[in-house]
């Protein structure tokens, strides 16, 4: 173990040295006069949009650090005064599993059963499963771990029609047990290994924060893939941690992640909430009405907002997810995952904004608006740098690369404050996410009806007539082409 740690440290040191050497080479390659006086429009354009983008990032960072190191410890001190009064009357641990390998499934259920035993509360483990093999595996673990009488086991067998159905069946099974107002429900994904004490760290918060309907947890990951794929996931979780902390300052965390979130029992037994999770849909002016196949975490968040609840984040309650990339190629796998994540985000975005600032608050509304414009602003710098370098010389493009290298290095170092580990690949991956992520966002923005799971073969079949399918396909292509053309034409005119 010590040898592996030393080897990893040496490789990371070599990676950082290589990255810094590249930055120095870029600086040396710059001509004496990089920016031509005639390119003032370019500088002004980058400056105006840059101020917006970096200001949003800076505000998120400051808010996140303020919550993590000032506000959350203050809340913890208040919570400790409640003592036993903050304990829930009953805890339900709902786990949904489908087509996950046996080793991961065993890790997950072993951790969940351990938490059910160790938390000390009356607890019911509800297993929402499809396959008999999963049921036999859980029963075997249950027998070997021998929980006390206050810990119970319940199975819900469902058809393999998707996670939304699995959650809805599980929620109805919990409803039939008629939990009281002090009961809580933790929703856990089938690839999530719970950290020690995570139940005791999360469930008392509902007593301190009476209007919070749901809260979510900090995530770390174990990636069954190559180095870049592993670093890509870890970077995403580090960014997620700071953003969650920032939004928790307003009690407006923007997603109730399916990996592990905890709800009041009165929420998950509410028929309106169950309907939102099970059969959420969108009425689109061009694509028509379509069901949401993925994105149950966004549906549950939107439902909580609509029902008048707040949302929260518990940064010291950690879970570990086992990530299985959908493709061996990093490029293909990352694009597939981005397509799913950004699609879930954009499908909820417009109607969430319609809830208004009175319900969401000004900061949350600005963040949601920024999610819509960031697909274009993220491409602006690279696009203008290419156009300007063609007109004024390659020095501008070299300067742009140096600027990107330096700013992404600073952003990476700032992420270390979150408590997540950083690596020498992070600056490059940050830029990759910015450019490729923006292009994927633009693509999916005009194709919101296209959805599929990355682990399951489930796809949305709307049963459309051939003309409607043709219209949807070609109108999506036409609007993508038109939007991209306007974007490029605007930049050409300005530069």
Least confident of 27-41, 178-192, 380-394, 481-495: 27-41
Q: What is the pLDDT of residue 451?
A: 83
Q: What is the pLDDT of residue 224?
A: 86
Say which CATH topology domain 66-357 has: Spore Coat Polysaccharide Biosynthesis Protein SpsA; Chain A (3.90.550)
The average pLDDT across 167-183 equals 95
Cα 250 to the center of its chain, rounded Å: 18
User: Which residues, including other chains, have CB under 8 Å from residue 135's CB and lie 6 or more apart?
Assistant: 127, 129, 155, 157
DSSP for 447-475 reads -TT--B-SSS--B------HHHHHHHHHH
Q: Quick one: pLDDT band at residue 41, thresholds 50, 70, 90?
A: very low
Does the pLDDT value for residue 242 go beyond 80? yes
What is the percent of the chain where pLDDT is above 70? 93
Q: What is the pLDDT of residue 459?
A: 59
CA atoms of 219 and 316, how far apart (whole Å): 10
Task: Render pLDDT for 323-379 as a digit per residue (tens, 0 to 9).
Answer: 888 899 999 999 999 999 999 999 998 889 999 999 999 999 999 999 989 999 999
Task: Render pLDDT for 385-435 as a digit per residue (tens, 0 to 9).
Answer: 898 888 888 888 888 898 899 999 999 999 988 788 888 999 999 999 999
Q: Where are the beta strands (DSSP E) in 285-330?
A: 288-291, 310-323
Task: Render pLDDT for 70-89 as a digit per residue (tens, 0 to 9).
Answer: 999 999 999 999 999 999 99
Q: What is the pLDDT of residue 456?
A: 57
Two tokens, residue 184:
């809580």
Contact at 8 Å (CB) between 286 and 475?
yes
- Positive/negative CA dihedral, 119, 120, 121, 124: positive
User: Which residues, including other chains, have CB under 8 Å from residue 9's CB and lie 6 or more apart?
Assistant: none
Does the pLDDT value for residue 461 go beyond 80? no
What is the percent of the chain where pLDDT is above 90? 62
The average pLDDT across 107-128 equals 95
Task: Render pLDDT for 132-162 as a digit per residue (tens, 0 to 9).
Answer: 889 999 999 999 999 999 999 999 988 877 7
Q: Where are the beta strands (DSSP E) in 158-204?
A: 184-189, 192-194
Task: Domain ranges for the chain, please list them.
Answer: 11-54+371-494, 66-357
The average pLDDT across 298-307 equals 94
Higher confidence at residue 455 or residue 397? 397
SS3 content of the chain, % helix, strand, coil (to 5): 60, 15, 25
Q: Mean pLDDT, the chain, as a whole number?
A: 89
The SS3 of residue 313 is strand
Residue with tokens 């770390």: 220
């Amino acid at each position: 173990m010590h040898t592996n740690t030393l080897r990893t440290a040496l490789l990371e040191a070599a990676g950082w040295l290589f990255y810094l050497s590249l930055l120095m080479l870029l600086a040396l390659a710059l001509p004496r006069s990089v920016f031509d006086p005639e390119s003032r429009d370019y500088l002004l354009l980058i400056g105006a949009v840059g101020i917006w983008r970096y200001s949003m990032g800076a505000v998120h960072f400051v808010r996140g650090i303020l919550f993590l190191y000032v506000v959350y410890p203050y809340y913890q001190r208040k919570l400790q005064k409640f003592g036993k009064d903050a304990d829930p009357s009953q805890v339900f641990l709902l786990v949904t599993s489908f087509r996950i390998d046996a080793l991961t499934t065993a890790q997950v259920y072993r951790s969940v059963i351990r938490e059910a035993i160790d938390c000390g509360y009356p607890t019911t483990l509800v297993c929402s499963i499809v396959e008999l093999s999963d049921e036999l595996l859980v029963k075997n673990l249950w027998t070997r771990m021998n929980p006390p009488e206050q810990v119970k086991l319940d199975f819900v067998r469902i058809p393999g029609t998707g996670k939304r159905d699995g959650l809805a069946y599980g929620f109805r099974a919990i409803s039939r047990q008629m939990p009281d107002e002090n009961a809580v429900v933790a929703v856990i994904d089938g690839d999530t290994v719970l950290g020690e004490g995570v139940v005791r760290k999360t469930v008392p918060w509902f007593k301190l924060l009476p209007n919070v309907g749901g809260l979510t947890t900090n995530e770390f990951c174990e990636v069954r893939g190559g180095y870049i794929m592993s670093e890509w996931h870890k970077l995403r979780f580090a960014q997620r941690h700071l953003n969650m902390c920032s939004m928790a300052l307003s009690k407006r965390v923007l997603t109730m992640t399916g990996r592990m979130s905890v709800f009041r029992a009165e929420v998950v037994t509410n028929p309106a909430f169950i309907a939102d999770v099970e059969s959420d849909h969108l009425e689109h002016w061009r694509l028509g009405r379509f069901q949401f196949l993925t994105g149950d975490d966004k549906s549950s968040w939107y439902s909580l907002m609509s029902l008048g609840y707040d949302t929260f984040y518990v940064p010291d309650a950690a879970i570990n997810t086992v990530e299985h990339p959908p493709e061996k190629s990093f490029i293909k796998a990352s694009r597939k995952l981005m397509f799913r994540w950004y699609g879930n985000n954009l499908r909820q975005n417009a109607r969430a904004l319609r809830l208004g600032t009175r319900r969401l608050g000004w900061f949350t509304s600005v963040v949601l608006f920024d999610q819509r414009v960031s697909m274009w602003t993220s491409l602006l710098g690279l696009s203008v740098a290419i156009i300007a370098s063609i007109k004024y010389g390659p020095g501008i493009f070299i300067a742009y690369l140096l600027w990107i290298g330096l700013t992404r290095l600073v952003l990476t170092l700032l992420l270390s404050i979150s408590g997540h580990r950083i690596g020498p690949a992070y600056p490059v991956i940050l830029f990759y996410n910015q450019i490729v992520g923006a292009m994927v966002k633009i693509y999916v923005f005009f194709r919101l009806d296209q959805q599929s799971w990355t682990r399951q073969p489930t796809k949305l079949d709307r049963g459309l007539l051939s003309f409607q399918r043709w219209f949807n396909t070609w109108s999506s292509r036409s609007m993508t082409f038109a939007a991209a053309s306007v974007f490029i034409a605007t930049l050409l005119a300005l530069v």
